[in-house]
Structure 1
Amino acid sequence: MPVVEASAVVPVPPDVAFAVSQTMAPLRYRWDPFVREQYLMDGAARPGKGVRTFTRSRHGLAMVSEYVSFAPPTNVGMKMVRGPWFFEMFAGGWRFTPAPDQPGHTLATWRYSFRCRPAWLRPLADPIGIRLLTKDIHKRIQGYARGCTDPAVLNNL
């Protein structure tokens, strides 16, 4: 199963880094270049294990995902419940650890895993998915790192 990953050291402690990663509209739109629309579903007031989220990407693709883990300030994991036809499976995980040798900073690591369908197309689809998702995850974590220094985001956590 293909996996893509990106990391960044951000100048905030893990609890703040985690909180930035969980912002929703309108704060989310300040830093996340991937998300065009995102909200919690089923009347949920805040993220948590079992909560579903609707996300529309800048590409126009929509996905409903569910939090499968939620452990502030260290990690969060999500899985696709419904999404683009070409994903048989899609999941994401984010880890936040104190940055080595940088007090008050956090190493944030984001990881996606996926499986394309149909199975016979995977030899072609997986490398394309890796290339596209690698590009997106790197842009996204760079935006996230900017969000961790944006006073408008930090002052509204």
Structure 2
Amino acid sequence: MPTVEAQRVVPVPPEVAFAISQTTGVTRLRWDRFIVEQYHLDGATAAAKGVRTRTRQRFGLTMVSRYVSFRPPTSVGFAMERGPWFFAKMGGGWRFEPLAGDPGHTLATWRYNFGCRPAWLAPLAERIGTVLLQREIERRIDGFAAGCSDPLVLAAVGSAADSEEPPTPAG
């Protein structure tokens, strides 16, 4: 199964990076240009293991995914339940680690794996998909890195921390 990965160093500690990665609504759209809409399903109001989300990507593709892991402030993982016809399966995870020697910075690592269908087309589709998905993941993590320096995004996360209520997350 093909895997794509992107890493960036961001100028915030892991707990802030994690909180930014889980923002929703207007705050999320400030940094995440990959999506145009994302929300929790089944009455969930916050991310947690087992929570499902629906995401619509900027080209109109939609996916329903489930959090398979949720470990603030270090990592989050998802698996696709329903998505574009050409994905047989897809999953991913985001990891946030303190940068060695610099506790105010975080190494963000985003990794995705996928398989394509139909089986007879998968070898070619997966080669093409790897190139396209890698480009999208690089753009998305660049947006995340910019969000980690955006005063409005930082204020939104800080406001939630100050009130002792976590930001409403979506992965």
TM-score range, shorter chain: over 0.9
- 2:102 maps to which residue? 102
Q: Which amino acid in structure 2 is aligned with residue 20 of structure 1?
A: I
Q: Which amino acid in structure 1 is aligned with residue 84 of structure 2?
A: P
Measure, in 1, the Cα distance between the counterparts of 2:69 and 2:37.
22
- 1:121 maps to which residue? 121
Shift of 1:33: 1.2
Q: Which amino acid in structure 2 is aligned with residue 101 of structure 1?
A: G
Give the 5 Å matches for 1:140-155: 140-155=140-155
Shift of 1:141: 0.3
Structure 1 unmatched runs, 5+: none
Measure, in 2, the Cα distance between the counterparts of 1:33 and 1:111.
18
Measure, in 1, the Cα distance between the counterparts of 2:134 and 2:76.
19
Structure 2 unmatched runs, 5+: 158-171
Shift of 1:11: 0.4
Measure, in 2, the Cα distance between the counterparts of 1:123 and 1:50.
31
**TM-score by structure 2 length?**
0.90
- 1:65 maps to which residue? 65
Give yes or no for the alignment of 1:55 onto 2:59.
Answer: no
- 1:86 maps to which residue? 86
Moved over 6 A (4+): none
**TM-score by structure 1 length?**
0.98
Measure, in 1, the Cα distance between the counterparts of 2:24 and 2:111.
20
Measure, in 1, the Cα distance between the counterparts of 2:43 and 2:151.
29
Root-mean-square deviation over aligned CA pairs: 0.7
Measure, in 2, the Cα distance between the counterparts of 1:129 and 1:44.
31
- Secondary structure, aligned partner of 2:120: helix
Measure, in 1, the Cα distance between the counterparts of 2:39 and 2:77.
16
Measure, in 1, the Cα distance between the counterparts of 2:41 and 2:23.
15
Question: Which digits, 9 at most, give the CA deviation of each residue in 1:15-35, with x for residues without a partner?
Answer: 000000011111110001100
